[in-house]
Amino acid sequence: MIIAYLDAASGISGDMFLGCLVDAGVKLETFGRVIASLKLPIQECSIDASEVKKGPLRALQVQVRAAESHTHRHLSHIQSLIASSDLPTVVKDRSIAVFRRLANAEARVHGSTPEKVHFHEVGAIDAIVDIVGVVAGLHELGVEQLYASALPLAHGWVDTQHGRIALPAPATLEILTAVGAPTRPALGEGEWVTPTGAALVAELAVFEQPEMTLAAIGIGAGVKEAAWPNVARLWLGKNVGSSAMVQIETNIDDMNPQLYGPVMENLLAAGAADVWLTPVQMKKNRPGVVLCVLSSAILEARLVQLILQQTTTLGVRVHALAHRHEAERAVREISTQYGTVRMKIKLLEGRSAGAVPEFEDCRRLADQHGVPVRVVLEAAWAGGRMGE
């Protein structure tokens, strides 16, 4: 299981997170594809990366450059922009979930509702690319679970389109409060955790440092200069801690069947290892289903809360599982006449024991070229065999 730990020693923002990802191995072209896929209504949008020094340390600084008017967007506009893209479903769902967190926080700050909130700074093009780019980058690296350190907060003031406000920014505090995020005093005055950075971490991460074997480190630079290295570090590796798993389940007989699909997708996006439905006959001869979720024990509380929020059930059952055996996995890119397809490879004792093309890649390329998905799948299979 590939995991990542965000060491936000000097805080976190969208561009710092992007810097971590590129330094850890995500190709800059990935974010170019994100910009193209979102069909952003601007004349010019680019993203560049450069190696910089922050104190004695090297780091990668990523900047999104966009030229646009001061457009104010509602949550529905941003959701539509992301949903209509050809990005993988899990990337779209997680990106929209991050923006929902921002909308909920802004609504509480301004005494409004998420639907009526006007996004200003966080609705700008660069913030949209930051958020969707981070989610897409984690997906490309194959990260199945993100963890994060406590976040440094400090006092001070910042100028916004609402005028001068005290730090930490009200939206940042609301976002972190909603998930009970651990914080610590920052080393100096100023804004070290932006609302965008807070929303990304609050939605995607568990605030805990895992036991892990390290495989790569990505270091992202912040724009501000400080008396200390203003960087964030992303540790990539495999989980070697407790492999305890739980099975969460509940019986449901009074929910619209159309809602099961979104619930399953949201559970998987939140880190569930597997989700399935089993038809059952319940009391009073009513047909129903058993919703089952397989998860690491550390995610139990998050997934239980999601089930209670998004289904009609009044309670769930949790069974502790002794352990689970997993084959090692790797990802290799295969070039086909339709484009690049990622191939998921199963490894046993370090040797390939099977490979499967990433279906979402094949579906995206099939849509782009106007061919059946099976044609792209067959091309990927053929490319994989040639590369063996």
Bigger pLDDT: 23 vs 164? 23
- pLDDT given at position 123: 56
Long-range Cβ contact pairs of 311-316 (< 8 A, separation 24 or more) = 311/250, 311/252, 311/255, 311/259, 311/263, 312/252, 312/254, 312/255, 313/250, 313/251, 313/252, 315/250, 316/248, 316/249, 316/250
Say how far apart CA 137 and CA 158 lie, in whole Å. Answer: 29
What would the mean pLDDT of 324-339 be, rounded to a whole number?
Answer: 82
Q: Helices then strands (H, E): number in the chain? A: 11, 18
pLDDT of 327 over the 80 cut: no
- For the stretch 334-376, pLDDT in tens is 889 999 898 888 888 778 888 899 998 899 899 999 999 999 9
Report residue 388's pLDDT band, with 50, 70 and 90 as the boundaries: low
Bigger pLDDT: 271 vs 4? 4
- pLDDT given at position 329: 77
Highest mean pLDDT (candidates 68-72, 119-123, 124-128, 139-143)? 139-143
What would the mean pLDDT of 80-102 be, rounded to a whole number?
Answer: 92
For 188, other C-beta atoms within 10 Å of its C-beta total: 15
- pLDDT given at position 201: 97
- pLDDT given at position 287: 94
Closest CA to 201 of 4, 20, 15, 6: 6
Distance of CA 149 to the CA centre of its chain: 16
Q: Position 317: which residue type?
A: R
What would the mean pLDDT of 34-39 be, rounded to a whole number?
Answer: 90
- For the stretch 134-168, pLDDT in tens is 999 999 999 988 999 999 999 998 887 777 889 99
Q: Three-state DSSP class for 335?
A: strand
What are the chain's domains? 2-239 (no CATH), 245-321 (3.30.70.1380), 332-386 (no CATH)
- pLDDT given at position 221: 97
pTM: 0.72
pLDDT of 180 over the 80 cut: yes
Closest CA to 206 of 150, 277, 162: 150
- For the stretch 77-89, pLDDT in tens is 899 999 999 998 8
| Residue given tokens 């406000």 in the structure block | 165
What would the mean pLDDT of 1-18 be, rounded to a whole number?
Answer: 95
| Residue given tokens 């651990």 in the structure block | 182
DSSP state of 169: P
- For the stretch 43-63, pLDDT in tens is 668 899 999 999 999 999 999
Judged by phi (left if over 0) then psi (alpha if -120 to 50, else beta), residue 314 lies in: alpha
What would the mean pLDDT of 193-208 be, rounded to a whole number?
Answer: 94
- pLDDT given at position 247: 94
Burial 102-137 (b: 16+ CB within 10 A, else e): bbbbbbbbeeeebeebebbebbbbbbbbbbbbbbbb
What would the mean pLDDT of 250-279 be, rounded to a whole number?
Answer: 92
Per-residue CA distances from 162 to 19, 159, 165 (Å): 29, 8, 8
For 153, other C-beta atoms within 10 Å of its C-beta total: 21
DSSP state of 149: P
- pLDDT given at position 20: 98
Secondary structure of 156-168 as H, E, C letters: EEEEECCEEEEEC
| Residue given tokens 């979402």 in the structure block | 360
- pLDDT given at position 312: 96
Say how far apart CA 297 and CA 245 lie, in whole Å. Answer: 5
Q: What are the E-state strand segments in 99-258?
A: 145-148, 151-153, 156-160, 163-167, 183-185, 205-206, 212-221, 231-239, 245-252
pLDDT of 243 over the 70 cut: no
- For the stretch 224-239, pLDDT in tens is 999 999 999 999 998 7
